[in-house]
Amino acid sequence: MTPASGGTWDADPDLGEVVVDEQTLERRVRELGEELADAYRDRPPLLVGVLKGAFIFMSDLARAIRLPLEFDVMAVASYGSGTTSSGVVRIVKDLDADLTGRHVLVVEDIVDSGLTLSYLRRNLLARRPASLEVCALLVKEGRQQAAVDLRYVGFRIPPEFVVGYGLDVAERYRNLPDIRVYRGPEPVG
C-alpha cells in the first residue's frame, strides 16, 4: 500500500530498511550547501542536475547554497527500468547552456559503478568549462569500475539498490522523504 492510497511507506512490502533518514538528509544537504557556498564564493557555479534522480537533491541543495546560481539539467540513461546498469550510457536530454569558461557543478544522485559519471565528465570537459566538479548525494561503497573524482559527497552507503529522495525503481518511490533499500521484484520492461 502506498501513502496515496491511505497507507504508510512502512507498510510497503517492497521497501526495506532506511539507509538515510529524512533528518540526516536535511542536515547533510545543508552542510554541503554551506561548503559549496564557501568554495564558490567568488565564482558562483552553474548547477547541472542529472535527471531524473537528482532533481529533489538539486532543489534542496540549491536553496542551501547562499549564492546567485544558474541551473541547467541533462538526462542520461544507463539503467532503463531495472535495478542494474546496462553499462551503456546515452544522453537523453542535453544541456541548453554553453559551458565554455563557466564554473560547473554537476549534481548527481548516486554513483554506483562510476561508468555513467566517467562518461558524463568526459563529455562535459570537452565543452571547455573553467572548472568542473561533482557533488554526489550517494556513493555505493566498493562498486566503482571507473575512477571517479568526487570532491563533494553526501553519504557513502552499502552496495544495495536504494530508492527515495529522487531515486526510483521503474519511476516509483522518488517521493519517499528518506532513502531506503528496495526489496521488491525486478521491474518488467
The CATH number covering residue 84 comes to 3.40.50.2020
> Does residue 156 belong to any structural domain of this protein?
yes
Specify the number of domains making up the chain.
Answer: 1
Q: CA–CA separation, 106 vs 167, rounded Å?
A: 16
- pTM of this structure: 0.88
> Does residue 126 belong to any structural domain of this protein?
yes
Instruction: Please name every residue paired with 27 in a beta bridge, in sequence order, or none if there are none.
Output: none
- Which position has the higher pLDDT, 127 or 91? 127
Domain that holds residue 146: 17-182
> Does residue 11 belong to any structural domain of this protein?
no
Would you mind telling me the total number of residues written for the chain in this entry?
189
> Does residue 12 belong to any structural domain of this protein?
no
> Does residue 2 belong to any structural domain of this protein?
no
Determine the pLDDT at residue 4. Answer: 45
The pLDDT tens digits of the residues spanning 93-150 come to 999 999 999 999 999 999 988 888 888 999 999 999 999 999 999 999 876 666 677 8
Report, as residue numbers or ranges, the catalytic residues: 112
> Does residue 187 belong to any structural domain of this protein?
no
Q: CA–CA separation, 149 vs 37, rounded Å?
A: 20
- The amino acid at residue 120 is L
89 pLDDT higher than 50: yes
Of 13-27, 79-93, 121-135, 149-163, which range is least confident?
A: 79-93
